Amino acid sequence: MPPDDSRTTDPYKVLGVGRTAGPDEIRKAFRRIAKANHPDLNPGDSAAEERFKAANAAHDLLSDPARRARYDRGEIDAAGQEVPPRGYYRDHAEGPQGARYAGRGSGRGDPFAGMGMGGGNLDPDDLESILGMFRSGDGAGFRAGPRRGRDANYRLAVDFLDAVNGATTRLTLPDGGTLDVRIPPGLEDGQVLRLRGKGAPGAEGGAAGDALIEVAVGPHPFYERQGRDLLLELPVTMREAVLGAKVPVPTPRGEVTLTVPPRSDSGAQLRLRGRGVAAGGQGSGAEPAGDLLVTLRLVLGPVDARLEEFLRDWTPEAAVDPREEMRRKA
């Protein structure tokens, strides 16, 4: 059974699908919720924004077969974080010695079993200390050398627009702690961020390990990414396409006005420079802002009697066959 995590919500319930739902059903459910609750379409509505974020996180988990199976088995919670088992070892332990194991049950057997040394739960660090005593000839004042802490691995769901614009988000750890993670503009799905010194503490004065965070960037209802450029399909009316118009266009950093030239055809592509992935980096590693490529899509809309009458009487000066090229290449 999946875990009952008070910090998150069952992704199946968030998307309104059953536990046997297939990929297509999950994708359709996400798009329906995302389109209805997207922040660009519901400015100032915090409840809609939360529903959008919850749907995004749920889709991210359920669209990954391996992670979905782990959630169904109760190995991770709805946020994708590991669920500590009873013998959970604390990478973020309280003691100065750093990560100490409790009842690991490694299955390798205890080399000291039956020798009066406790058996079963001997810590590797303790074993090193004992062996060190033998090597030094006596146990007095023995100290192991500095040991670096272990790296901690996490997976973080990132909103599409946060990956485009850059943001700071908070990662909740299995032990209840938190890490603030800076998301650089242009972050890609599957990229791993390294937070130095945020892993398990070191031992005997050793440096702490790092936190390695693999990001999963969610989809967007109407943007697609192509490198540092974004693609957007923009509906326009017949009047706007024929006569030209100035129309509002949502971009990742606010609405702008786009000039649609007269006699624009459906499928025509217009470019809004600097409205794609935000600029990022510094010095030689700096990346310029990408562009937003807008493809016009003609929407006929309601047709009244006057338009029907006009089209019946209208004879174009030159006959146009929109399917000529298709027939030629068939």
User: Residue 293: what pLDDT?
Assistant: 98
User: Residue 152: what pLDDT?
Assistant: 87
User: Residue 96: what pLDDT?
Assistant: 38
* Domain 1-82: top CATH class: mainly alpha
User: Residue 128: what pLDDT?
Assistant: 52
Q: What is the pTM of this model?
A: 0.54
User: Residue 112: what pLDDT?
Assistant: 43
Task: List the chain pLDDT tens, one digit each, 330 residues.
Answer: 554 443 458 999 999 999 989 988 998 898 889 888 887 777 888 888 888 888 888 888 898 888 898 888 888 888 877 776 544 444 433 333 333 333 333 444 444 444 444 444 445 555 555 555 444 444 444 456 888 888 888 889 999 999 999 999 988 877 778 889 999 999 988 888 998 888 888 888 889 888 899 999 999 999 999 999 999 999 999 999 999 999 999 999 999 999 999 999 999 999 999 999 999 876 667 889 999 999 999 998 888 899 899 888 888 777 778 888 888 887
Find out if CATH 2.60.260.20 is the number for domain 223-329. Answer: yes
| β-strand pairing of 223-226 with 211-217 | unpaired
User: Residue 267: what pLDDT?
Assistant: 95
Domains of the chain, residue spans: 1-82, 84-154+189-216, 223-329
CB distance 61 to 53 below 8 Å: no
pLDDT single digits (tens) 48-69? 888 888 888 888 889 888 889 8
pLDDT single digits (tens) 255-301? 999 999 999 999 999 999 999 999 987 666 788 999 999 999 999 88
